[in-house]
Structure 1
Amino acid sequence: MTNTSDQDRRMNILLVDDEEDLLDQAKLFLRRANQKINADTVETSKKALEKLKSNGYDCIVSDYQMPDVDGLKLLKILREEINSDIPFIMFTGKGREEVAMKALNLGANRYLQKGGDPKSQYSVLARAIEQETEHKKTKYEKKKAEADLRKSEKKFRSYVENAPIGVFVVDSEGNYIDVNEAGCEITGYSEEELLKKNINDLHPPSAQEEAREAFEKLLKDGKTRKEIPYTKKDGTKGYWILNAVKISDDKYLGFTEDITDRKEKEKVLEKSREKFKELFDAMNDAVFVYDLDGNILDVNNTAVKRLGYSKKELLGISRDKFESAENAEKNRERIDKIKKDKELVFESVHITKNGEKIPVEINSSLTDYHGEKAVLSVARDISKRKKLKRKQKLFSKSLEKASIGVYWLKPSGQIVYGNKKVRDRLGYNLKRFDDLHVWDLDPNYPKEKRKEFWNKLKKEKKMSFETKHITKDGDSFPVEITSHYLEFGQNEYEFAFVKDISEIKKEHQDLIKSEERYRRLFETAQDGMLILDAETGKIDDANPYIQELLGYSKDELVGKKLWEIGSFNNVTENRARFKELVEEGYIRYEDMPLKTKEGENAPVEFVSNTYMAGGKKVVQCNIRDITHRKKIKEREEFLHSLLRHDVRNKSEIVWGYLDLVDDQELNEDSVKHLEKAKRAVKENLDILSKIETLSKAQEETIKEVEINSIIKNVIKQTKDIAKEEGIEIDFDISEEKFYVNAGSLLNQVFINIIENAIQHSEPEKIKVKIKETEKKVTISIENDGEKISEEEKQKIFNKGYTTDEERGTGLGLFLVKKLLNIYEGSIEAKDSELGGARFDVHLNKT
């Protein structure tokens, strides 16, 4: 049945007649008489019964006299066999009274006779159809209503009796007149006991006033709702929620649900809320509650502390205020997603009051806040996690680019990862490598041995061994593998470092050859050599030269500790000195006085080094006989002393007598000869001074030197010489102090450079300035005098090179470079922006 109004009013009828023309006529006239009538037609009763099986009709109009089964038999079948109450109208031309009586007795609703004016008779039939159809409908609806009412009453009574909540009926005085089983169970009274009580009897004195007000409201408004304490039969107190309505002038229906547990839970919940608030504020994560427009409703203490705002400043503002612009644009979309999916986890950036950016992971969920939908967001500071991820990424990238092969294997032997080093060496790409097993690479560890190997690794945690690997092309090469047992999450792995030891194997063979060569050198060396165990100090080996030098046999030396040999008693006095030697790793004595077994002096140069050999730490002592060198040095020192002292003294005596001669009256040629003699003596003294400086330079010790004070002192020493030549010396003084590695002769470097400028460049101004870089301090000395040609720049620091044969010795700048080399510094000659030459001295910062 359709829902349109026309179809709701339409009457579907079945016309049964053996005259087809009559059926067509009837269908036409009935349609004209009532547009709501929709008629189907059949010629026999059998066809009518078939039609009724598949169609629902509102009425049947049947002829009486028909072949096979007549109209009366059709009616009888409908009423007695099919038990159908469909309206049935006998519409026939036979006017016999007995037929009409039979039809009505069998249950026909109407008996109409054919004949007369077709329009009139069909109008009558149409009205009859409509009336019978409507009558049936009314009758059906009344019966249905009555049945529904009985069913409803029965159901309601069942509901009341079986309801899990108490149902009470009271009169206008508050006396109980009905109660269900649940009401009895709640109060602990029987039905008989309750029906003798008034509502005031079930409320404790403290709740009497509340009960009275609730009942008065019920009498006045016809309904009431109240949560109120009540007293059970056993005297215990409880809470129930009462919903009551007026059902008649003197009857009131009340529903009561025991909420004692709920009240207790509410108390617990209140305590829980207080505890939650404490936890809320004590959480290490920042917690925000905001409405669906993004406005802050609540925050915890961590959020206040992290963002730098007061709680008052945060409440009511939009969360966009402390989000980056990029993330603020996404907030509306995120809230919509939370409303749809109930939760959302994402990363964002919070901006504190002072502008600091904090990366956070936010876990948001939809929640109820004071009866309204809101969003609860927990923001975790992931700065450390981000840093860790960067480290992990760096580790992963480092692992991939590591210079040693690395791979991960499952307990089954399947390779899950191999880095680029191992893939390239074996000739596999990344995808193909992950399909391999360890036995595809290592013929020494077949599949059947994997379980045994894995169990051993799991027990020992770490294993190192040598084996060989086979490349994709079938070539094999030796490897050293260090495997570790690792647990990562819920999984177990073998984490292995793979080192191609082809070169090591080759180097090992070369080492054997080298050791043979070393042994020959050791045995034939013209210096004494001792090999000591660094742990014990015992001599492991001694070459023939040291045996001959000291007069001990090899057996007398090997196995003894160094300080147990008489020759070394005065040098290595005890174990502490030897320990220091081992820890320092290097000790050198320029002149060590040893004694032979026979007690003769043997001056030696003693140098010791420590290194690893054969898996243990050893000390090698090289002992060189310097008897001949010492004699040569003593002779050189004698000659230097003679040169510095006696020759200087004689030169100064000559200078004195030349001054006396200069006071006498001399002719022009004599004056010229005298000046040349004095200049030669002065140059001779200058050469002696530089030789003395060079001699001291050999013994110079490098230490920390403050450069500013050195420059100031040099300028003070050369100021008078410069002033005599009309030259200004300018030092760009800095408040900052600069410290460099140099020695006590550093001032001589700058004196020589300035004196060289005064003597050879003829400047008007000399400028000194200092600047520093990360590792160096550069002192620039420049002038506005003559430039130095490119050719001269290449030679100017050579020993003996000078551009002034009359006044120069060629030792000044040579001495400068020599000293700077000792200090591990350097010097450059350049063109000055002042127009002359510039010298840049570079020294290492301390």
Structure 2
Amino acid sequence: MREENKKLHSTFSEAEDMLGIGSAEWDIEHDVATLSEGWKKILGVKKEQMSLDESLNIVHPDDLPAVKADLQNAIDNYKPYSIKHRIICQDNGEIRYIKVYGKITRFDSTKPVKIHFTMQDVTKNEKLKDELQKKVDDFYYLYNNLNDAVFILDIDGYILDINKTTANRLGYSKQELLSLHTADIDCLYNEINTKKQIQKIIENRQKVFESVHIKRNGKKLPVEINSTFIKYEGKPAILSVARDITERKHAERLIQRKIKEQKALLSSTPALVYLKDNKLNYLTVNDAFCKVVDSTVENIKGKTDFDLFPEKEAEKYRSYDTSVMEAGEPVYNLEESYTTPEGEKRWALTSKVPYYDFEGNVIGIVGSSLDITERKQMYEKLYKSEKEKEVILNSTSEQITYQDLNYNIIWCNKAAFDHLGLDYNDIIGMRCYKLWIGANVNTICENCPVEACIKTGEHSEGTMGTPDFRVFHVSADPVRDSNGNIIGIIKILNDITERVKNRKKLKKYSEQLEKINRELEKRVQDKTEQIKNAERMRELELHHRVKNNLQVISSLLSLQSEKFDDEEVYEAFKDTQNRVVSMALVHEKLYRTNHLENIDLNDYVNDLVNHLKGLYDGGNISLNIDVQNIYFELDTIIPFGMLINEIVSNSLKYAFSEDESGEVTIKLSQDEEGYNILIIADNGRGISENVNIKESESLGLQLVNSLVDQLNGNFELDTSNGTKFIIEFYSS
């Protein structure tokens, strides 16, 4: 029996060890717990019996309060005991998880006697559970902190789940997004198109495509969506990862813009630009290249130079290309010829550069050829022109030099080094004043034209004497670069020694001739003055005789008028006499002034009007005379005087009654263009408004019209306040 019990105990212990369990029985009254082998192994103790306090000391301190409370609750309420907690193994300090079950035994209904415990080591399970939870936590951490937005959709397109990035990026809460269809946040796919896209994902198990999401604020967000068909909570679903590709799109736009810019640049450049592979087949060319070979990019791709150019030229191009690729060194500004499809030979300046892959291997060449045919032709013409100019400059007797701003000779013509008796190379680099003035001279010449030209930047000239008593005329002109800066001086020297000598002789002869000329001029001047004086005297005498004759006629008219009793006839004679007096007065003024060129008009008008005032007894009439002193020719002044005579006489006779006071005004002015305005006015009774001044039978008005016509003028009559004649005429 004992053997069987021992064997049974051994079997039980092995079973406990295999299952990771143990058992114990606690005698509550005596506070003794009897432990099974499994229990001891789990706790790491060797004792077969332990008190309650010893057992509780093995419990992890953090779990001890709960263990005590649950145990006491089971004892007090006679309930089964069950708890999971940690222990600290006594043999190695390892922390283990155990699950303990207890059943209370009592002999009566009031007092528990024993508790039978069963314990299971659940450390492995707890560790697996902790690791699994950690993985779940790590997954959700990554899930919610991905830079990409993650959606889980049902097969109808409704949102089942999202990560935090999705909500943050789109500006919605998670709850708001879980109530939306994916078409609500996608501006490219509506519900119908979304279902079609989901069907393709299901068929292909996966699909990557681009779309545009709409944020809550209305802004658009370009995304790349990687969708996979999955099972979610046991149902078919779509897992979509949406990556923000704003920067990529921006970069793509920049790249596309750069490509367009480069294409535009290559298309607009006149140079022939091309790319060849390592077999020297053309990969691409620009528009200028296509134009030269009269073909298109597509037709040129894959061809070689032998397909496009004559054989000799193609061989030459291949030789250059091969050397560039083998050496891995670029070649710049290589002048080469090519033949167009029309057979025209042209020239180009070519550069070839090795074309490398990412590993630094030469995989082709990039070339550019700029057509320089016109430039080459121009250079040849320029070279020819320079040679012609050099021949011309060397054939002239003038000494011509080109020198820098420090007076050093850079170039000179043949006349210069012939005069100096030096070789050309001996002159170049020498300072001009040491060559022409003396080797010991260390300063520039006084009043040097070259110095003045450098300072002012303008043409300058002067004279220079040399120690061998030669005289040179020197002119200096600036030479400027493309920015307008002076970079040199062209100086021209003319030997004027003989000219100076001749000038001195000429000066002596000139002085003698000037003396003779002055004597001749004085004789001519004296003779001319005598002739002018004689002519003047004859004209003055003529005016004097005309004046005397007019005075005789006036006297005869006066004597004749006394024989008539008829008042009208008497007045007619008197008026005629006044007209003759006005003409005589002109000739008298010319005679008395001794100046036949002009007459003092103001003096003449004053004399004439005062004569009329005395003649018509106008003592009560005041005269207002304002006459600008204007020069009139004799053909103008005669009708001018008679016009004043007619109008003033009329005013003195008819404008005022006897003893009535009044005023007569005579004004004359001239504008800048030579138009004269004569105003003759009185403040008397005035002429009747019914009188037609142009067709009047009055002799006076007829004379006024006639005299104004002689002056090539016109007149107006203003009778609003007395009588005012306004006469306008032109005099040169």
TM (norm. structure 1) is: 0.38
TM (norm. structure 2) is: 0.42
Larger radius of gyration, structure 1 or 2?
Answer: 2
